[in-house]
């Protein structure tokens, strides 16, 4: 089976796993995951598994990328902040769904590799920054959507503060991988509302605000690249 056929098979698997947003599925189908993994893992590019990308980081399994993107509910005119560019795969998926993605990565070598991949795909609505993702990107705030691909101890206050009214933040929280949860934070005119989505297993978020939570978040169960 060639890579194109494997990509179609992956999309079918995502549908069966409960991913129903057709825009998300189309964005994933248009994004060649093999471009974002080392050559030795090309034969596994369309398996539902996380793969190493260097510097102790991984590219998340496709079903998690699809789920987080679907829960973010991205619209075509939105400005999105991504914490943890990594390989650039999630960045590419988001870029096909919104007006502009602002993506922060602390590993310069990873960021440069991701920038090259995104340029190759001719995605011109992405702005990148090498820096501390836990602090967000204040000069570009507010954001309608924020997605973090690394786990903080709690919801970092700077990220919550940079959400615009009606904005959504999706991220994993938890001190240890076995205790992590994927949560969605929505900001309204009266404050913040947090939903617990599912268990998660992510690398830790490292940065000045990674262990500083946002006080007063209400919780409820789930019912070319331009550099700056």
Sorted by where each begins, the domain ranges of the chain are 53-227
Residue 211 appears among annotated catalytic residues: no
Average pLDDT over residues 68-87: 97
Q: How high is the pLDDT of residue 217?
A: 52
pLDDT tens, position by position, 25-46: 999 999 999 999 999 999 999 9
Q: Residue 60 above 50 pLDDT?
A: yes
Q: Is there a contact between 47 and 9 (Cβ–Cβ < 8 Å)? A: no
Q: Which CATH architecture has domain 53-227?
A: 3-Layer(aba) Sandwich (3.40)
CB atoms within 10 A of CB 77: 9
Task: Give the pLDDT mean for 121-141.
Answer: 97
The answer on pLDDT for 55 being more than 70 is yes
Structure tokens at 107: 């590993």
Residues 169-222 pLDDT 10s: 999 998 776 789 999 999 999 999 999 988 888 888 888 887 655 444 544 433
Q: How far apart are CA 195 and CA 170, in angstroms?
A: 10
Q: How far apart are the first and last CA of the chain?
A: 41
Say which of 17, 20, 60, 87 is annotated catalytic: 60
74-78, 161-165, 176-180, 214-218: least confident range: 214-218
Write down the pLDDT at residue 218. Answer: 43
Mean pLDDT of 5-18: 94
Question: In sequence order, what are the residues at sequence separation of 6 or more whose Cβ sits closer than 8 angstroms to the Cβ of residue 205?
Answer: 83, 84, 133, 134, 148, 150, 151, 152, 156
CA atoms of 102 and 88, how far apart (whole Å)? 12
pLDDT per residue over 105-125, tens digit each?
999 999 999 999 999 999 999
Model pLDDT, residue 228: 53
């Amino acid at each position: 089976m060639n890579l194109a056929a494997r990509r179609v098979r992956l999309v079918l698997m995502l549908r069966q796993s409960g991913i129903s947003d057709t825009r998300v599925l189309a964005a994933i189908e248009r994004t060649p995951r093999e471009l974002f993994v080392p050559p030795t893992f090309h034969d596994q590019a369309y398996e539902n598994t996380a793969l190493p990308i260097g510097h102790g980081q991984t590219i998340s399994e496709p079903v998690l990328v699809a789920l987080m993107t679907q829960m973010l509910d991205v619209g075509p005119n939105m400005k999105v902040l991504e914490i943890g560019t990594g390989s650039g795969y999630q960045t590419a998926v988001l870029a096909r769904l919104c007006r502009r993605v602002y993506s922060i990565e602390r590993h310069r070598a990873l960021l440069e590799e991701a920038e090259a991949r995104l340029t190759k795909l001719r995605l011109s609505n992405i702005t990148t920054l090498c820096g501390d993702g836990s602090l967000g990107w204040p000069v570009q705030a507010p954001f309608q959507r924020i997605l973090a691909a690394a786990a903080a101890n709690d919801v970092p206050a700077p990220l919550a503060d940079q959400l615009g009214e009606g904005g959504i933040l999706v991220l994993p929280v938890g001190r240890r991988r076995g205790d992590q949860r994927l949560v969605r934070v929505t900001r309204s005119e009266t404050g913040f509302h947090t939903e617990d989505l599912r268990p998660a297993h992510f690398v830790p978020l490292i940065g000045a605000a990674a262990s500083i939570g946002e006080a007063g978040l209400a919780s409820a169960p789930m019912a070319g690249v331009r550099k700056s």
